[in-house]
Amino acid sequence: MKILIAEDDPNLRAGLTDLLALEGIDCVVAEDGEAAWRAFIEEAPALCLFDVMMPRLDGLDLCRRIRARDSHTPILLLSARGAEIDRVIGLEIGADDYIAKPFSARELVARIKAGLRRAKAQTQAEASAAAPKDAERLRMGDLEIDPEALRAWRDGQSIDLAPRELAILKALRERAGKAVSRDELFDVAWGRDYMPNSRALDQYVSTLRRKIERDPAHPRIVKTVHGVGYRYDEDA
């Protein structure tokens, strides 16, 4: 597997490449967003690491462009911009992780390796699913969910779901009436190798609520259990 690094700072770009080479990870590098887009199409990397602030096409727009074409390749955003709104936007448009500068080299390598493991496991799972089984539709309140189609319906209106959103809903549905901890939801949606950001799940759930709740400010399907996690009640 190889990863794509897009970073306009030549010193940091070289440093990242050398760091990952020591870990046995091959890298394809780009100095701006447009070059990274071309490299993504040509090289089909297993994981992407993008700086947010880049010339020609920034990391957020690059992430949007890739997600319109590819919903699976892990994307990690790297930026000195520490405002919460930047992290929220990054997660909402499909990034898998957001790492703020300055960062620990050890943590960065751990997050990249975790992303590569998840990508490999997903590829193997898809390859072994030669004869996919029909998945039963789920009901959560007035929401009907088709796991196989990654789609939900309410009042005849279709709602597209991301794989992680589906994983969160299924975990809550399977334990209806009980609180599901934040760590458990991280495990089912991101994988046990994921090193969670304290706000990542909350931001993701907030996005999910805006898609599936009639009134996101007063959720009935994904309820907050303060100090624990989230819960779905059968009478939602």
Q: Range with the lowest mean pLDDT among 74-78, 92-96, 125-129, 214-218? A: 125-129
Q: What is the mean pLDDT of residues 81-105?
A: 77
- Residue-level pLDDT at 171: 95
Q: What is the DSSP letter of 30?
A: E
Residue that is written with structure tokens 């005849």 in the block:
156
Structure tokens at 220: 């009935």
Report how far residue 65's alpha carbon sits from residue 57's, in angstroms, rounded to the nearest whole number.
10
Does the pLDDT value for residue 67 go beyond 70? yes
Q: pLDDT (tens digit, 9 = 90+) per residue, 21-62?
A: 999 999 999 999 999 999 999 999 999 999 998 999 999 999
Q: pLDDT (tens digit, 9 = 90+) per residue, 115-136?
A: 888 877 776 666 555 444 445 7
pTM here is: 0.58
Does the pLDDT value for residue 83 go beyond 70? no
Reference 187, options 172, 168, 174, 206; nearest CA is 168
DSSP sequence for 138-187: EEETTEEEETTTTEEEETTEEEE--HHHHHHHHHHHHTTTS-EEHHHHHH
Q: pLDDT (tens digit, 9 = 90+) per residue, 137-191?
A: 899 999 999 998 899 999 888 999 988 899 999 999 999 999 999 889 988 888 7
**Phi/psi zone of residue 24: left (φ > 0), alpha (ψ -120 to 50 degrees), beta?**
left
Report how far residue 50's alpha carbon sits from residue 28's, in angstroms, rounded to the nearest whole number.
12
Q: Classify residue 85 by burial, with Cβ atoms within 10 Å: 0-12, 13-18, 19+.
A: exposed
Report how far residue 162's alpha carbon sits from residue 232's, in angstroms, rounded to the nearest whole number.
19
Report how far residue 174's alpha carbon sits from residue 138's, in angstroms, rounded to the nearest whole number.
10
Q: What are phi and psi of 130, to 5 degrees?
A: -70, -30
Q: What are phi and psi of 160, to 5 degrees?
A: -75, 140
Do residues 151 and 158 touch, judged by C-beta distance below 8 A?
Answer: yes
Residue that is written with structure tokens 């949606």 in the block:
189
Q: What is the DSSP letter of 226?
A: T
* Domains recognised in the chain with CATH numbers: 2-128 (3.40.50.2300), 138-231 (1.10.10.10)
Q: pLDDT (tens digit, 9 = 90+) per residue, 201-229?
A: 888 899 999 999 999 999 999 999 999 99
Do residues 121 and 31 touch, judged by C-beta distance below 8 A?
Answer: no
- Residue-level pLDDT at 197: 62
Beta strands 180-181 and 151-154 are unpaired
Q: What are phi and psi of 33, to 5 degrees?
A: -65, -40
